[in-house]
């Protein structure tokens, strides 16, 4: 289902090979798992949509891995690590983390 949704959203006449799509979906799984603090992702349509959206973002960033911004002549591009729309879809699944007693972070000077 995720691979078909990837192809539909991509809308390209010459889509990438299935192995490449699976590679980007696997990268998206790893990033999402780290963000959520989970080893395995739950089965939910929001998770599937976030996986596909992030896989597409990674696919579109080919050649710009590791860059936060790029300027080519008059064209400037900026890249998000994890797009805000993906964060919003994943927020209900995020695990809270408790700090050990006595280790409260205080941002105040």
Give tens-digit pLDDT for 48-72. Answer: 999 999 999 888 877 666 666 777 7
Tens digit of each residue's pLDDT (9 = 90 or more) over 19-29: 999 999 999 99
Q: Are 3 and 19 in contact (CB under 8 A)?
A: no
Is the residue at 103 inside a domain?
no
Is the residue at 104 inside a domain?
no
Is the residue at 13 inside a domain?
yes
Is the residue at 69 inside a domain?
yes
Is the residue at 99 inside a domain?
no
Q: Judge whether residue 83 has pLDDT over 70.
A: yes
- Domain with 54 in it: 2-92
Is the residue at 33 inside a domain?
yes
Lowest mean per-residue pLDDT among 15-19, 77-81, 85-89, 102-106: 102-106
Please state, in angstroms and rounded to a whole number, the distance separating the CA atoms of residues 1 and 90. Answer: 19
């Amino acid at each position: 289902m995720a691979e078909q949704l990837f192809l539909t959203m991509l809308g390209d006449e010459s889509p990438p090979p299935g192995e490449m799509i699976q590679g980007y979906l696997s990268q998206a799984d790893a990033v999402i798992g780290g963000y959520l603090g989970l080893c395995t992702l739950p089965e939910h349509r929001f998770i599937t949509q976030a996986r596909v959206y992030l896989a597409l973002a990674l696919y579109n960033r080919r050649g710009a891995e590791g860059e936060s911004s790029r300027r080519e002549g008059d064209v400037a591009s900026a890249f998000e690590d994890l797009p805000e729309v993906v964060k919003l879809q994943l927020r209900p699944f995020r695990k809270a983390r408790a700090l050990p007693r006595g280790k409260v972070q205080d941002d105040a000077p």
